A and B are shown apart, each in its own frame.
Chain A
Amino acid sequence: MGEVEAFAPGTLSDKIDGKADLYLSAGFVSLRDQRVSVSAGAGSWMEMFVYDMGLPANAFSVFSSQRRPRAADAAIADYSYEADNELCLVHGRYYVELVCSDSSDAASRAAEAVARAYVGATAVAEHADIGAEEALFPSEGLVAGSVALVPSDVFGFDRLKNVFVARYRVGGDEVTLFAAKRGTPGEAAKEAAELRGFFVVDCGGAETPAPPGPPGAAIIDLGGSFEAVFAMGPYVAGVHQAADRDSAQRWLAVLGRRIPGGNP
C-alpha cells in the first residue's frame, strides 16, 4: 500500500510534527514506517511505526509516557498494550506502534499477527526491563500501567530528566510518586535541592515544617497542592501533587522505606 519511509532526527517532525520533541528528548535514532492493507478487512489498513530509540530504557520511556487510558496489556513483547485501534510495544531498543484505520476485530487480529511476526524476526541485544525501578514503588494503591519514565521537563522543571513516576489512588487520595537514580549521592542531593528551589522560587511555594522522614525531606505548599522531595543515597525521589500536607507526609514515609538504604 505504501513504500517504507525512513526518518532521522532532523526529519522526524516532517512525519509526526510536534510530537517529534517527545522522541528526540528520549534519545531517538531513527524511524521506519510503512502502511499496509489488512487483507481480512474491507478497506482496512494499518501503519507500522518502528522507532529505534537507541536503548531499551529510551524505548520504554516513549512507550510509557504515551500509554493510552484504555490500554490493555497485550503480552507480546518486553512491554505491550492494545488500545482500541492501536497496538504498541517495546522490543529491546525498538518502540513499535501499529495504528489501524479502524477498531474492527479483523484489524486488531492483523495488528497482533504483525506484532508477533516482528518480534519473532527481530533480534535485539538487550531487552527492556524496568523491574528494578518498579521495585522502588509500593504496590498498594498503584494505578495499573502507570509506571512511566519521563525523559525531560519533568513537572515543568527543565533540569529534571529521566525520572520514573507512578500514580497512586487510595480511596479519595491520589498522588504521583517519583524516583530516579543518579550517578552519585552528591548528584542526587544537588538535584533534590534544585527541584526544591524550583518549587519555592519559580512556583512561589512555601516550605512547611520538616517532616519526620526521610532525612532532609521537604514538603512545599503550593496553595492547593503539596510537593515533596528528598535525596537518599544516589536516589532523588518525592511526591507530586498531594492534596494535603498529611498525604504528602504519609506517602513520603512509604516511598522512603522503598528506596535502597531507607528504613524498611
Chain B
Amino acid sequence: MNPSAPGPEPVATRREFFRRGLRAGAAIAATGGLGAWLLDRHPPGDFGRTQGRDLRMDFGVRSAGPGMAIATGRDRPGMLRRALAALGGIERFIARGDRVMLKVNAAFATPALLGATTHPELLAELVRLCRAAGAASVVVTDNPINTPESCFELSGIGGAARSAGADLFIPRPGSFRAGTLPGGRLIRDWPVLDEPFAGVTKLIGVAPVKGHHRAGASMTIKNWYGLLGGRRNQFHQDIDGIIVELAMLVKPTLVVLDGTDSMMTNGPTGGSLADLKETNTLIVGTDPVATDAFGATLLGKTFRDLPYLVRAGELGLGATDFESLKPARVPAPAT
C-alpha cells in the first residue's frame, strides 16, 4: 500500500457531499456534518516514520486474485456456501493446515435477531467450511469493551463458535500489543489485539450491514475497530479517519458481509426489530472496500455518502467501483 497525501478537494465535490447529506431523507441530522468533510482535508501522518512495531496485517491470498460474490436469499448458511462456490470454493482461500481467525462483530450483548452482531448461524457455517477445507484451527474473536462474556453469550456467537468446532478467544488486558500503522496519523503507538494472532495464517471478517450514527454505515472495514484496544472511544471524534486507517491496517483473506437483514435506523446498536429491513443479500469478497461499497447500496446509499469509503478508494485501498470486480451474482435457488 502506498497512500499519497491528498491535494485540495474540488469545491464541486464538497458541495456534492453536503447535498447528498441534505437528500438523506430520514437523516435530518446528516451524519458527520461539516466535521466529516473536513476530515478528508487533513493529510495523513508522517509517511515513513514508524514508532514501534509495524501493525499492518496482510492475510491476502495473492493467487486467488480479487473476487466478489453476491448471493441473495434468506438462508445465511446457504447464501454463504453459494457465494463461496461462485468464487471457486473456500479451498481457494483456506488450505489444509491453515490457522484461521474469524473476526466477528460481537460489540453488543444483544440477541441475534436484532442484527447488531454477527449472526450465529452464519458464523457456525463459516467455521464448518473452514474446518472442512482442512483448517488446523479456527479461532473466533472480537474486543467488545463492555462485558465481553455477555456479548459473546447473549449474541449467540459463543455457542455457535463452540458447537461448530472453533475456539473462542475473549481478550484480556494482556492480549494487546502496541505498535504503529505506517502512514497513519491515529494508530500510532496504539494497542492492537495481538495474542490470538499467534500462528494465524488466514483472517476472515464477518460483519452485519448496519447504519451507524456517526460513520453513516458499519460494515466489514469498521468491523476491524474491534481489533483496537485502549481508550479507543477517542477515535469517534475522527470516525472516518480511523476507519480509513483500519482499511490500511488489515488486508484480510476474505470478508463476509451479511445483509440478510440490514439495520436501517438507530445503528449501530439498534434495539428494535423495527430498525431492520429484509435486504436478503450476503456478500463475500477479497476487497473490503468493494464489499462495503456494495453494502452501502443495501442501506440506500452509495460509497459517495460514506467519506471513509471515498478516501479509501482514493488511497488505492480497494475498489469503490465494485462492478469493476465483475461480482458473481448468485440468486436464491428456485423452491
Contact = CB atoms under 8 A, between A and B. Distances in A.
A85 to B, nearest CB: 6
A156 B34 contact: yes
A66 B25 CA distance: 14
Contacts of B154: 35, 45, 101
B214 interface: yes
A153 B29 contact: yes
Interface stretch (B106-114, B251-259, B287-295): B106-114
A84 B274 contact: yes
Contact of A225 (B12, B23, B114, B273): B23
B18 A203 contact: yes
B34 A102 contact: no
A20 B34 CA distance: 19
B150 A2 contact: yes
A20 B235 CA distance: 12
B33 interface: yes
Interface string B131-149: 0000000000000011100
A30 to B, nearest CB: 15
A156 B36 CA distance: 10
B212 to A, nearest CB: 5
B272 A15 contact: no
Interface stretch (A67-75, A126-134, A207-215): A67-75
Nearest to A222: B19
Interface string B1-22: 0000000000110111011011
A5 B146 contact: yes
Contacts of A165: 28
B238 interface: no
Contact of A14 (B14, B145, B266, B271): B145
B43 interface: no
B233 A203 contact: no
A86 B33 CA distance: 29
Interface in B196-248: 212-215, 218, 233, 236, 239
Interface in A91-115: 97, 99, 101-103
A153 B30 contact: yes
B271 A202 contact: no
Given A203-B18, A241-B23, A153 B33 contact: yes
Contact of A85 (B31, B233, B273): B273
Interface string A196-223: 0010001110000000000000000011
Which range holds the interface residue count of chain A?
A: 35 or more
B286 interface: no
Contacts of B19: 203-204, 222-223
Nearest to A2: B150
Chain A CB within 10 Å — which of B14, B19, B35, B214 has the most? B19
B243 to A, nearest CB: 11
A83 to B, nearest CB: 4
A190 B146 CA distance: 44
B171 interface: no
B265 interface: yes
A156 B20 CA distance: 10
Contact of A99 (B15, B218, B265, B271): B271
B333 to A, nearest CB: 29
A99 B14 contact: no
Contacts of B31: 153
B275 interface: yes
A241 B269 contact: no
A148 interface: yes
A225 B24 CA distance: 12
A38 interface: no
Contacts of B233: 10-11, 13-14, 20
Contacts of B218: 18
Chain A CB within 10 Å — which of B145, B154, B212, B272 has the most? B272
A157 interface: yes
A153 B33 CA distance: 6
B12 A204 contact: yes
Given A70-B274, A99-B110, A16 B34 contact: no
A102 B111 contact: yes
A18 B33 contact: no
Contacts of A225: 22-23
Interface string A12-48: 0111111111100000000000010000000001010
Nearest to A99: B271
A227 B28 CA distance: 13
Contacts of B273: 83-86, 103
B158 interface: no
Contacts of A35: 109, 150, 154
Contact of B14 (A97, A103, A150, A202): A202
Interface of B: 11-12, 14-16, 18-19, 21-25, 28-35, 107-111, 113-114, 145-147, 150, 154, 212-215, 218, 233, 236, 239, 265-269, 271-275
Interface of A: 2, 5, 10-11, 13-22, 35, 45, 47, 65-66, 68-71, 83-86, 97, 99, 101-103, 148, 150-158, 165, 176, 198, 202-204, 222-225, 227, 240-241
In order of increasing CB-CB distance, the 4 nearest A-B pairs are: A156-B30, A204-B15, A156-B21, A153-B33
12 contacts: A10-B233, A14-B146, A16-B108, A21-B214, A35-B154, A66-B266, A148-B28, A152-B33, A156-B24, A202-B15, A202-B18, A203-B18
